[in-house]
Amino acid sequence: MAPAHWQIQPPANLPAQFWQAVSRYCAQSNGYFAAQLLWQRGIRDEAQLQAFVDAQAYRPTSPFAFGQEMKWAVQRLHQARETGEKVVIWGDFDADGVTATSVLWEGLGQFFPQGEQLTYYIPHRLRESHGLNLPQLERLAGEGVRLIVTCDTGSTSLREIDQALAWGLDLIITDHHTLPEERPPVVAMINPRYFAENHPLYHLSGVAVAYKLVEALYESFPTIPQQPLSDLLDLVAIGLIADLVQLTGDCRYLAQKGIEQLQKQPQTQSRPGVAKLLEYCKGNGDRPTDISFGIGPRINAISRIHGDASFGVELLTSRQSERCAALAEATELANSRRKSLQKTISAEVEKQVQRLDLSTTGVIVLEDPQWPAGILGLVASKIAQDYGRPTILLCRQLEATGTIVRGSARSIRNIDLYDLLQSQAELLLGFGGHPFAAGLSLPLENLSLFREAINQRFWQTYGDLVALGPQVEVDLTVTVADLGRELFQELKLLEPCGMGNPAPRLLIKGCRFERLWSDQKDWAGRPVMYPKLTFYLKDNSSPEGFPGIWWGHTKEEIDPQQTYDVVVELDFNTYKDKNRYEVRLIDLQVSDPARTPSTDFPPVAVVESPLPPILAPKEHHRREAELPALSPEDILQQLLRLVHQEASWSVETLPATWNLGPVTTPLVLALGKRLRAQPPLPTTELVTDLHQCLEALQEEQFQRQYHCQVILS
């Protein structure tokens, strides 16, 4: 893995009114960190804030915002219901596609008899790949089907659509993938990509588009359904979060409402399959990570290992507890097998990457005839993140027309993978997806030319715009003492996190690792397959330390005598009833001693050096040899922490490393006392005081820098 570049967000100069508005949502803290994050992410007024934090305050967009396309779809489904036509849901095999199929199966099942008039079909991942295919369309037409409703697929299956029409099949396409240049001749094309990028529906995933179709039917024929529409929201949240779409607008609203529904599952068991999946992943359903790290990967594992994802729909929708328990167990076994395969293939891919010249490689394109197709997307995603480059991994498949290579592609940051693939369309047999993830196939003989051409296109398009290599974006700088329940509750205001609203990453400077522990071998003496390092972090703010975990690493990688800067995510661990707050280590680097304060707070070194009278301070005649180690913002963060730790508050409690001058010392001291006042002072007053103190510290450091740099002669 290449070394990562850290992009650290500077603290924002928050308006007092906005900080005060955020603090109202933080019962146990002053809301400073949450306000910083929200401001950074474009939430900058009270109306935006309320709609972002409180799903009840958000006004969801009508399904009929899709216009005539939605009306045509509703009319055609009503016609099919009235005339008794056979309707088939055509789904997809990833978590978004399986949940989308499940939403339509339950939602349309309120209007059509399930198993008689309404059925579903999901292509076999290993044999058929994504999208519509002619053999199955021909089979369905021969069985008397007259209407197909796709979900999470179909937008670019132009040849298949034309042939389906010739066989007498009508199609309603619900999808969110890239649109074709011209609208195909289907009954309706419900795809949010027709909207502008700032539209609240633009980022809907496949399951959310399917839900909007069901919502339109519920609104058009409210007396027919017997099941509340809200019962589908947990499925919507699973698909949305698992598919890594941008959680803004209606996507965020649906995810919020869906998580509310999901966290009821352990008690209500209304979806015994979902409840069992939560049990396997040790989740309560109240966190988006229960989906992104738990339910989502397990649903995806079904098709990755078995190829056929159909039983995933039964797992999510059946109300039979025993049947769901058996399906959940099979899902868990598939996930275990998936993890083992992923580890093996990742190691093989890493070996191939090491042989590349990464200085000239913009897009990593690798192929191996033995790689299993179902795992390649996961491995490509990890390689793309580790090396900061779009990655395409391919395996071979023998067909009647010759040997083809088929696989998955994943991208990073602002690099449009779909556009790169589209530029090489003449070399491909087919491709589909969106800017960050895609599937593709091409003749083996085209592979060398494809690799060269897509890299050339990459450098032409992005060569001057991107810095290749992994990037770690840091949102906040905190101390170990800041970690814990109060900060966790503040950061929870931003959930659900995902694309466009990532989980907050925290920088802690000058840390040491203690109580290091990692399992090297299992109970049978074999090397563990998935190592993890547990530890306690300490810095000068917290003698007790704070627990953490680093997945995939061992204690040999940490020097307990060394001081590090670390990037972490704060989490709450419920595994084996631990129920504790801890950090998940993302990245680390050895601290720079020139800018990181030591744990002993040594005084700033000074040398006696008389200044010219015009520059000399009245209080003393000396010139500081170096600037303070802490920025004004860091000083205020430490101040906020110290006022809660010290029983008394006086000048003796001010750390020497702050190196305060005669002007700022009384200001900081007065602010500390006001922060401790009982009863608490109004937030607006404290915010004003903080800003005044910050300005004074900034001015003092500016003057010191001038005195350090001025030529005394």
List pLDDT tens digits, range 648-677.
667 777 787 788 887 788 888 888 887 877
Tokens describing residue 335: 């996930």
* 44-58, 103-117, 410-424, 681-695: the lowest-pLDDT one: 681-695
| pLDDT value of position 646 | 62
Task: Please state, in angstroms and rounded to a whole number, the distance separating the CA atoms of residues 52 and 183.
Answer: 34
Strand 623-624 to 476-478 pairing: unpaired
- Which residues are registered as beta bridge partners of 140? none
List pLDDT tens digits, range 311-326.
999 999 999 999 999 9
| pLDDT value of position 603 | 32
* 55-59, 71-75, 152-156, 524-528: the lowest-pLDDT one: 524-528
For every residue of 270-324, DSSP letters joined together read SSHHHHHHHHHTT--S-STHHIIIIIHHHHHHHHHHHS--HHHHHHHH---HHHH
Task: Please state, in angstroms and rounded to a whole number, the distance separating the CA atoms of residues 711 and 76.
Answer: 83
Per DSSP, the three-state class of 144 is: coil
CA 40 centroid distance within chain:
17
Is the separation of the CB atoms in 494 and 34 below 8 Å?
yes
| pLDDT value of position 70 | 98
Element (H, E) at 103: helix 95-108
| pLDDT value of position 592 | 77
For 111-232, where are the alpha helices, taking DSSP H only?
Answer: 134-142, 158-166, 206-220
| pLDDT value of position 611 | 33
Cα distances from 616 to residues 544, 605, 613, 619, 696, in angstroms, run 43, 18, 5, 9, 19
List pLDDT tens digits, range 64-91.
999 999 999 999 999 999 999 999 999 9
| pLDDT value of position 594 | 55
At 11, which amino acid appears?
Answer: P
Hey, which bits of 116-157 come out as E strands? 118-121, 145-151
Residue 534 pLDDT exceeds 80: yes
Tokens describing residue 477: 């700088």
Tokens describing residue 432: 């589909």
501 exposure class (CB count in 10 Å sphere: 0-12, 13-18, 19+): buried
Task: Please state, in angstroms and rounded to a whole number, the distance separating the CA atoms of residues 517 and 533.
Answer: 6
Mean pLDDT of 472-479: 92
| pLDDT value of position 526 | 67
Percent of the chain surpassing pLDDT 90: 61
SS3 breakdown of the chain: % helix, strand, coil, rounded to 5? 45, 20, 35
Residue 618 pLDDT exceeds 90: no
223 exposure class (CB count in 10 Å sphere: 0-12, 13-18, 19+): exposed
| pLDDT value of position 182 | 92
Is the separation of the CB atoms in 68 and 175 below 8 Å?
no
Task: Please state, in angstroms and rounded to a whole number, the distance separating the CA atoms of residues 412 and 118.
Answer: 40
610-644 burial code (b ≥16 CB/10 A, e <16): eeeeeeeeeeeeebbeebbbbbbebbbbbbbbbbe
Residue 423 pLDDT exceeds 90: yes
How confident is the prediction for the chain on average, in pLDDT?
A: 87
At 147, which amino acid appears?
Answer: L
| pLDDT value of position 624 | 42
96 — pLDDT class (breaks 50, 70, 90): very high
pLDDT: is 631 or 590 the higher one? 590
Is the separation of the CB atoms in 480 and 546 below 8 Å?
yes
Report, in angstroms and rounded to the nearest whole number, the Rg of the chain calculated over CA atoms: 29
Mean pLDDT of 22-45: 91
Task: Please state, in angstroms and rounded to a whole number, the distance separating the CA atoms of residues 218 and 212.
Answer: 10
- Contacts of residue 672, defined as CB under 8 A and 6 or more positions apart, other chains included, come to 639, 642, 643, 649, 653
Q: How many CA atoms lie within 13 A of 532 on its CB side?
A: 10
Tokens describing residue 661: 């001058």
Taking CB atoms within 8 Å and a gap of at least 24, the contacts of 194-201 are 194/66, 195/65, 199/65, 199/249, 200/61, 200/248, 200/249, 200/250, 201/61, 201/65, 201/66, 201/249, 201/250
| Helix and strand numbers, DSSP H then E, in the chain | 23, 20
Q: How far does the chain reach from its first CA to its final CA, in angstroms?
A: 51
